[in-house]
Amino acid sequence: MSQLADREIVGLTADSRLVEPGYLFAALPSSVAGRSIDGADFVPEAIRRGAVALLGPPGLAASLNTSGDMPVIEDEEPRRRLSQLAARFFGDQPETIVAVTGTSGKSSIVEFVRQIWAALDRPGASLGTLGVNSSSLQRKLAHTTPDPVILHAALRDLAAAGVDRLAIEASSHGLEQRRLDCVNVSVAAFTNLTRDHLDYHPDEEAYFQAKLQLFKVVMAPGGTAVLPVASDLTDRLRAVCQAKGHRILTFGAGGDVDLLQRRIVGDGQHLSIAALGHQSDLELPLIGAFQAENVLCAIALVLACGEDPGAVLAAAAHLIGVPGRLQLVGARANGGRVYVDYSHKPEALRAAISALRPHTKRRLIVVFGCGGDRDRGKRPQMGRIAAELADKTVVTDDNPRCEEAAVIRAEVLNGCPDATEIGDRGQAIATAIACLDADDVLLIAGKGHETGQEINGVTYPFDDSDVVRRVLAGQSP
C-alpha cells in the first residue's frame, strides 16, 4: 500500500455520504438504537465517492476488497486518531476553551458563560445542544458534542472570526467516543449525575466514568476543575483532579463561589453570591434552585479564566434564560401561564416541576412524553414523578423515533395510571391549555428548544413554543 505522504487530503469525514474526491474516510464502528454498525461496510461507497485514504481499527485493510494502492491507517483507537487528524487539518482554536459535563445544566451554563463574557466585552461563544452561538458566528449542530470533524471546523471558524473564548458542552457520548480529544480545554466543570443514557452506557458507573474523561484525558494536567460542593461524587472528582495536578474551584453553598441567600421574586429569583472576596446581589429572571446552581457554576468558570471577581459578579446580574429551559412562552387571558422545558429525564422533570411549584397559586399541569430508542427504564419513573408532583398530567408523544408510540405511552402510564393520554402532541398541548384557569401553571416538558418531532425515521416540523403561541392566539395546534 502506498503512503499518505503521496496523497493530498482535502477533507475528512466519518460519514460515507459526505465523502468528496480527495477525502479521508474514517470507517468507525458504531451503534444506532442498540444495533452495531461496522464502518467497513461503507468503505465501497466512500471509495466510489472519491475517498483517497481510509482510517479504521486493526484488520480494516485485510477486510477490504480494494487494490493495494489505497492507503489505510489502522489504529487501536481510531476515534482518537480521527480527532488528532481533525485537529491537525483545521488547526486554529479559540485561545481559551472551557468545557462543562454532567447530566443537566450544560446548555444553560455554557450560554451563561458566553453572556458574562459578552457583558465584559470579551469575544466569546458557546457550543452545544443549542448550536454554535456568538456575535459573529451562529451554526446549528446535530449533536451536543459534534464529531471531531464538525467540531474542529467550528473551532477554526470561531478563531478566524476573532472569537478567543469558547464554552463547550461535553456530553458522555462525546467523551466516550473521543470527540473532544485534542480540544485545548483549560477549565472543566462538572454539574451533577442522574439517570440518563442507560441505553448507551451499561450502568451509571460507566456513565460517570465517561464524564471523568474530561478531567482525566481531555484537559491537560495543570488545568482548573470547577466542582460542586454538594455532590456525592465531589470527593471522587477531587481525587482524580488532584492526581492530574488540576487546580480546584468549588461552587455552591460554602464553596469558592458561595450562595449566601436565595429567595423567589415574582417570576424569577434573588441571589446573594460571594466569590473570592467579593459579594453581590443579583435579581434574575430565572426559575428554580437548579438555575441558581447553573449561575454559580458559570461564574466559577469565568473566574477560573482569570477575570476580576467584582466585574464578573456585576456582569452576571444581566443573565437571561436560554430557549426551552423553563421558558415562559405565554398566558391565557385569564392569567394561566405556560412554560416550555427540555426536561426529558427523571430528575430534570422533578426539578422543573419543583421549580414551578412556588410560582403556582392553584394547579400545576404537566404535559410530557418519552423518546423512543432510548432508555426504557426511565419511562415509568418519569410517570411516577409527574403523578407525585403535578396536579394533572397529560401523557403524549415526544420523539417516538422507530418505536411504536402507543407502547412508549403505555410504559409511561405504568407510573401515572390516572393521567390523561393524548398521543397527538399538538392536541395534548391544546387540551391542557384549554383547561388552564386563573393562577394555574402548565409545564410542557421534554422537547424544549427542539423544532422537529422524529417519527419512523422522518423529522416533522414541530416546536412546542410555536404550538403554544398558536393555541393562545385561538388558532389550531
pLDDT in tens, 463-476: 999 999 999 999 99
pLDDT score, position 199 = 63
pLDDT score, position 7 = 77
Handedness of CA 421, 422, 425, 427 (dihedral sign): negative
C-alpha cell at 410: 403505555
Of the listed ranges 141-155, 196-210, 254-268, 278-292, the one predicted with least confidence: 196-210
Q: Taking residues 79-84, report their average pLDDT.
A: 97
Question: Which of helix, strand or coil describes residue 228?
Answer: strand
pLDDT above 80: residue 195: no
Residues written for the chain = 477
C-alpha to C-alpha distance for 178 and 216, rounded to whole angstroms: 12
Q: Taking residues 118-130, report their average pLDDT.
A: 97
Residue 27 burial (CB count, 10 A): 23
Backbone angles phi, psi at 219, to 5 degrees: -80, 125
pLDDT above 80: residue 324: yes
CA dist 326 → 13, 306, 329, 385 (Å): 36, 31, 9, 17
C-alpha to C-alpha distance for 20 and 24, rounded to whole angstroms: 9
DSSP designation for 59: T
Q: Taking residues 318-339, report their average pLDDT.
A: 96
C-alpha cell at 166: 469558547
The average confidence (pLDDT) of the chain is 94
pLDDT in tens, 422-435: 999 999 999 999 99
Q: Percent of the chain beyond pLDDT 70?
A: 95
Residue 43 burial (CB count, 10 A): 24
Measured distance between the N- and C-terminal CA atoms of the chain, rounded to whole angstroms: 60
CA dist 409 → 20, 403, 423, 442 (Å): 43, 11, 8, 20
| CB-CB contact of 342 with 447 (8 Å) | yes
Q: Kindly list the structural domains of the chain, giving each domain's residue range(s) and its CATH number in brackets, ordered by start.
A: 4-76 (3.40.1390.10), 88-316 (3.40.1190.10), 327-472 (3.90.190.20)
pLDDT score, position 1 = 40
pLDDT in tens, 286-321: 999 999 999 999 999 999 999 999 999 999 999 999
Residue 114 makes CB contacts below 8 A (sequence gap 6+) with 124, 125, 126, 133, 134, 167
CA dist 187 → 154, 207, 224, 435 (Å): 19, 21, 5, 47
pLDDT score, position 2 = 44
Burial zone of 312 (CB within 10 Å; 0-12 exposed, 13-18 middle, 19+ buried): buried
Query: Higher pLDDT residue, 200 or 382?
Result: 382
Residue 408 makes CB contacts below 8 A (sequence gap 6+) with 369, 370, 371, 372, 379, 397, 398, 400
